[in-house]
Amino acid sequence: MSGLDQWQVETPEQVALSLPLAGVGARALAALIDLLAVFLCGIVGLFVYSIWGDLLGRWQALSWAGQLLLVGAVLAAGWGWDVAWEVGWRGQTPGKRALGLRVVRLDGAPVGLPESLVRNALRVVELPLGYAPAVLAVALSARRQRLGDLVAGTLVVQERRFDLSRYGAPPAAEARWRELKGRAVGLLAPADFERLLDFLRRRTEFDEVARARLARRLAAVLAARAGVAPPAAGEAESFLEAFHAFAAEGAP
Protein backbone atom coordinates (compact mmCIF):
# COMPACT_ATOMS: atom_id res chain seq x y z
CA MET A 1 0.00 0.00 0.00
CA SER A 2 1.39 3.46 -0.84
CA GLY A 3 0.70 7.10 -0.19
CA LEU A 4 2.27 10.36 -1.26
CA ASP A 5 6.04 9.74 -1.13
CA GLN A 6 5.45 6.93 1.36
CA TRP A 7 5.39 3.15 1.07
CA GLN A 8 3.60 1.19 3.78
CA VAL A 9 4.48 -2.40 4.57
CA GLU A 10 3.18 -4.78 7.20
CA THR A 11 5.64 -6.69 9.39
CA PRO A 12 5.13 -10.37 10.33
CA GLU A 13 3.81 -9.03 13.65
CA GLN A 14 1.06 -7.23 11.68
CA VAL A 15 2.45 -3.79 12.43
CA ALA A 16 2.31 -1.22 9.63
CA LEU A 17 5.54 0.65 8.89
CA SER A 18 5.72 3.70 6.67
CA LEU A 19 8.86 4.08 4.57
CA PRO A 20 9.58 7.54 3.09
CA LEU A 21 10.56 7.23 -0.59
CA ALA A 22 13.68 8.90 -1.95
CA GLY A 23 13.23 11.46 -4.73
CA VAL A 24 15.23 12.33 -7.82
CA GLY A 25 17.47 14.93 -6.18
CA ALA A 26 18.73 12.78 -3.32
CA ARG A 27 19.25 9.75 -5.57
CA ALA A 28 21.11 11.80 -8.19
CA LEU A 29 23.43 13.31 -5.60
CA ALA A 30 24.12 9.88 -4.10
CA ALA A 31 24.93 8.57 -7.59
CA LEU A 32 27.35 11.46 -8.16
CA ILE A 33 29.14 10.69 -4.90
CA ASP A 34 29.49 7.05 -5.92
CA LEU A 35 30.70 8.05 -9.38
CA LEU A 36 33.35 10.28 -7.84
CA ALA A 37 34.41 7.46 -5.51
CA VAL A 38 34.70 5.02 -8.44
CA PHE A 39 36.70 7.59 -10.41
CA LEU A 40 39.11 8.19 -7.51
CA CYS A 41 39.56 4.44 -7.01
CA GLY A 42 40.32 4.11 -10.72
CA ILE A 43 42.89 6.90 -10.59
CA VAL A 44 44.60 5.29 -7.60
CA GLY A 45 44.54 1.92 -9.33
CA LEU A 46 46.10 3.34 -12.49
CA PHE A 47 48.76 5.13 -10.47
CA VAL A 48 49.69 1.97 -8.56
CA TYR A 49 49.70 -0.12 -11.73
CA SER A 50 51.83 2.42 -13.61
CA ILE A 51 54.55 2.13 -10.96
CA TRP A 52 55.13 -1.45 -12.08
CA GLY A 53 55.92 -0.57 -15.69
CA ASP A 54 55.01 1.22 -18.89
CA LEU A 55 51.22 1.40 -18.72
CA LEU A 56 50.80 2.96 -22.18
CA GLY A 57 53.18 0.44 -23.72
CA ARG A 58 51.28 -2.47 -22.24
CA TRP A 59 48.01 -1.04 -23.51
CA GLN A 60 49.40 -0.65 -27.03
CA ALA A 61 50.80 -4.18 -26.91
CA LEU A 62 47.32 -5.62 -26.45
CA SER A 63 45.30 -6.78 -29.43
CA TRP A 64 42.08 -4.98 -30.25
CA ALA A 65 40.20 -7.82 -28.59
CA GLY A 66 42.37 -7.51 -25.48
CA GLN A 67 41.78 -3.76 -25.35
CA LEU A 68 38.04 -4.31 -25.72
CA LEU A 69 38.03 -6.89 -22.95
CA LEU A 70 39.98 -4.55 -20.68
CA VAL A 71 37.58 -1.68 -21.28
CA GLY A 72 34.68 -4.06 -20.61
CA ALA A 73 36.32 -5.20 -17.36
CA VAL A 74 36.69 -1.59 -16.21
CA LEU A 75 33.04 -0.85 -16.99
CA ALA A 76 31.95 -4.06 -15.24
CA ALA A 77 33.95 -3.06 -12.16
CA GLY A 78 32.14 0.27 -12.05
CA TRP A 79 28.77 -1.49 -12.43
CA GLY A 80 29.75 -4.03 -9.78
CA TRP A 81 30.44 -1.21 -7.32
CA ASP A 82 26.74 -0.76 -6.64
CA VAL A 83 26.02 -4.48 -6.47
CA ALA A 84 28.87 -5.20 -4.05
CA TRP A 85 28.00 -2.35 -1.70
CA GLU A 86 24.23 -2.90 -1.79
CA VAL A 87 24.57 -6.58 -0.95
CA GLY A 88 27.39 -6.22 1.55
CA TRP A 89 26.21 -3.02 3.27
CA ARG A 90 22.49 -3.73 3.65
CA GLY A 91 21.31 -1.79 0.62
CA GLN A 92 23.67 1.16 0.84
CA THR A 93 26.54 2.37 -1.30
CA PRO A 94 28.83 5.07 0.15
CA GLY A 95 26.82 7.68 -1.75
CA LYS A 96 23.49 6.38 -0.48
CA ARG A 97 24.83 6.17 3.05
CA ALA A 98 26.02 9.79 2.89
CA LEU A 99 22.51 10.87 1.83
CA GLY A 100 20.68 8.55 4.24
CA LEU A 101 19.24 6.34 1.48
CA ARG A 102 18.81 2.56 1.38
CA VAL A 103 17.65 0.03 -1.23
CA VAL A 104 15.01 -2.35 0.10
CA ARG A 105 12.58 -4.90 -1.32
CA LEU A 106 8.90 -4.06 -1.56
CA ASP A 107 8.30 -5.84 1.75
CA GLY A 108 10.86 -3.61 3.46
CA ALA A 109 13.47 -6.36 3.80
CA PRO A 110 17.13 -5.71 2.85
CA VAL A 111 17.94 -6.12 -0.84
CA GLY A 112 19.62 -9.40 -1.79
CA LEU A 113 22.04 -10.38 -4.54
CA PRO A 114 19.39 -11.34 -7.15
CA GLU A 115 17.50 -8.05 -6.74
CA SER A 116 20.68 -5.97 -6.79
CA LEU A 117 21.97 -7.72 -9.91
CA VAL A 118 18.69 -7.15 -11.75
CA ARG A 119 18.20 -3.51 -10.72
CA ASN A 120 21.75 -2.59 -11.71
CA ALA A 121 21.75 -4.63 -14.94
CA LEU A 122 19.02 -2.34 -16.28
CA ARG A 123 21.52 0.52 -16.27
CA VAL A 124 22.66 -0.70 -19.70
CA VAL A 125 19.34 0.61 -21.00
CA GLU A 126 19.41 3.89 -19.05
CA LEU A 127 23.09 4.86 -19.42
CA PRO A 128 23.15 5.33 -23.23
CA LEU A 129 20.19 7.71 -22.88
CA GLY A 130 21.88 9.79 -20.19
CA TYR A 131 19.72 8.22 -17.46
CA ALA A 132 16.73 10.16 -18.80
CA PRO A 133 14.45 7.08 -18.48
CA ALA A 134 15.56 6.66 -14.86
CA VAL A 135 14.92 10.31 -13.99
CA LEU A 136 11.48 10.27 -15.62
CA ALA A 137 10.52 6.98 -13.99
CA VAL A 138 11.53 8.15 -10.49
CA ALA A 139 9.82 11.51 -10.94
CA LEU A 140 6.56 10.14 -12.34
CA SER A 141 6.06 6.71 -10.74
CA ALA A 142 4.00 6.42 -7.56
CA ARG A 143 6.75 4.44 -5.80
CA ARG A 144 9.68 6.55 -7.10
CA GLN A 145 11.16 3.55 -8.94
CA ARG A 146 13.58 3.64 -11.85
CA LEU A 147 13.37 0.88 -14.47
CA GLY A 148 15.70 -1.42 -12.57
CA ASP A 149 13.62 -1.04 -9.42
CA LEU A 150 10.42 -1.85 -11.28
CA VAL A 151 11.84 -5.08 -12.68
CA ALA A 152 13.67 -6.13 -9.49
CA GLY A 153 10.84 -5.21 -7.09
CA THR A 154 12.93 -2.78 -5.07
CA LEU A 155 12.59 0.71 -3.61
CA VAL A 156 15.02 3.40 -2.52
CA VAL A 157 13.88 4.82 0.80
CA GLN A 158 15.00 7.74 2.92
CA GLU A 159 16.14 6.66 6.36
CA ARG A 160 15.01 8.66 9.32
CA ARG A 161 17.80 9.97 11.52
CA PHE A 162 17.57 9.10 15.19
CA ASP A 163 19.59 9.89 18.28
CA LEU A 164 20.32 6.30 19.29
CA SER A 165 21.89 7.36 22.56
CA ARG A 166 18.41 7.61 24.04
CA TYR A 167 18.09 3.85 23.71
CA GLY A 168 20.73 3.24 26.30
CA ALA A 169 19.21 1.67 29.37
CA PRO A 170 18.00 4.30 31.84
CA PRO A 171 19.57 3.87 35.30
CA ALA A 172 16.35 2.43 36.70
CA ALA A 173 16.03 -0.08 33.84
CA GLU A 174 19.70 -1.04 34.09
CA ALA A 175 19.33 -1.68 37.81
CA ARG A 176 16.07 -3.57 37.31
CA TRP A 177 17.54 -5.85 34.63
CA ARG A 178 21.12 -6.07 35.80
CA GLU A 179 20.87 -9.86 35.52
CA LEU A 180 21.03 -9.34 31.73
CA LYS A 181 24.47 -7.79 31.93
CA GLY A 182 26.92 -10.26 30.49
CA ARG A 183 24.12 -12.45 29.12
CA ALA A 184 22.79 -10.25 26.34
CA VAL A 185 26.17 -9.96 24.62
CA GLY A 186 26.46 -12.41 21.74
CA LEU A 187 22.81 -13.55 21.87
CA LEU A 188 21.71 -11.44 18.91
CA ALA A 189 22.63 -12.04 15.31
CA PRO A 190 23.07 -8.80 13.31
CA ALA A 191 19.57 -9.16 11.84
CA ASP A 192 18.07 -9.67 15.32
CA PHE A 193 19.93 -6.65 16.68
CA GLU A 194 18.59 -4.55 13.78
CA ARG A 195 15.06 -5.79 14.47
CA LEU A 196 15.27 -4.82 18.12
CA LEU A 197 16.74 -1.44 17.27
CA ASP A 198 14.09 -0.89 14.62
CA PHE A 199 11.35 -1.45 17.19
CA LEU A 200 12.94 0.94 19.71
CA ARG A 201 13.29 3.74 17.23
CA ARG A 202 9.89 3.27 15.53
CA ARG A 203 7.70 2.38 18.51
CA THR A 204 6.16 5.84 18.74
CA GLU A 205 4.74 5.31 15.23
CA PHE A 206 2.67 2.28 16.36
CA ASP A 207 -0.73 2.46 17.95
CA GLU A 208 -0.70 1.54 21.64
CA VAL A 209 -2.16 -1.95 21.22
CA ALA A 210 0.28 -2.98 18.48
CA ARG A 211 3.19 -1.42 20.34
CA ALA A 212 2.44 -3.32 23.55
CA ARG A 213 1.83 -6.58 21.70
CA LEU A 214 5.09 -6.40 19.77
CA ALA A 215 7.08 -5.37 22.86
CA ARG A 216 5.74 -8.38 24.78
CA ARG A 217 6.60 -10.77 21.94
CA LEU A 218 10.13 -9.47 21.54
CA ALA A 219 10.73 -9.43 25.28
CA ALA A 220 9.50 -13.02 25.68
CA VAL A 221 11.81 -14.29 22.92
CA LEU A 222 14.85 -12.44 24.24
CA ALA A 223 14.18 -13.42 27.86
CA ALA A 224 14.10 -17.08 26.80
CA ARG A 225 17.42 -16.68 25.01
CA ALA A 226 19.01 -15.04 28.04
CA GLY A 227 17.58 -17.62 30.41
CA VAL A 228 15.72 -15.11 32.55
CA ALA A 229 12.06 -14.81 33.50
CA PRO A 230 10.02 -12.82 30.97
CA PRO A 231 9.07 -9.33 32.12
CA ALA A 232 5.58 -8.32 33.10
CA ALA A 233 3.54 -6.65 30.38
CA GLY A 234 4.20 -3.16 31.70
CA GLU A 235 7.95 -3.75 31.86
CA ALA A 236 8.47 -5.13 28.35
CA GLU A 237 9.87 -1.93 26.84
CA SER A 238 12.12 -1.31 29.83
CA PHE A 239 13.43 -4.85 29.40
CA LEU A 240 14.09 -4.26 25.68
CA GLU A 241 15.92 -1.00 26.38
CA ALA A 242 18.18 -2.74 28.86
CA PHE A 243 18.71 -5.74 26.58
CA HIS A 244 19.69 -3.47 23.69
CA ALA A 245 22.10 -1.49 25.83
CA PHE A 246 23.79 -4.58 27.25
CA ALA A 247 23.95 -6.27 23.84
CA ALA A 248 25.45 -3.14 22.29
CA GLU A 249 28.32 -3.28 24.76
CA GLY A 250 29.67 -6.29 22.91
CA ALA A 251 28.76 -5.16 19.40
CA PRO A 252 31.73 -4.64 17.05
Residues 138 and 192 in one domain: no
Give the range of the structural domain holding residue 63, as residue numbers without chain letter.
Answer: 2-158
Give the 3-state secondary structure of 169-200.
Answer: CCHHHHHHCHHHCCCCCCCCCHHHHHHHHHHH
pLDDT digits (tens, 9 = 90+) for 133-162: 888 888 888 888 898 899 989 989 887 654
Residues 102 and 10 in one domain: yes
Residues 174 and 100 in one domain: no
pLDDT of the residue at 94: 92
State the pTM of this model: 0.59
Nearest CA to 147 out of 128, 171, 123 is that of 123
Q: Among 113, 138, 158, which residue terminates a domain?
A: 158
CA distance 73 to 58: 16
Element (H, E) at 147: helix 147-152
Q: How many domains does the chain have?
A: 2
**Using 50, 70 and 90 to split pLDDT, how confident is the model at 80?**
confident
pLDDT digits (tens, 9 = 90+) for 198-211: 788 888 878 888 88
Residues 15 and 128 in one domain: yes
Q: Among 104, 126, 158, which residue terminates a domain?
A: 158
DSSP 84-134: HHHHHTTT--HHHHHHTEEEEETTSPBP-HHHHHHHHHTHHHHGGGTTHHH
Residues 130 and 83 in one domain: yes
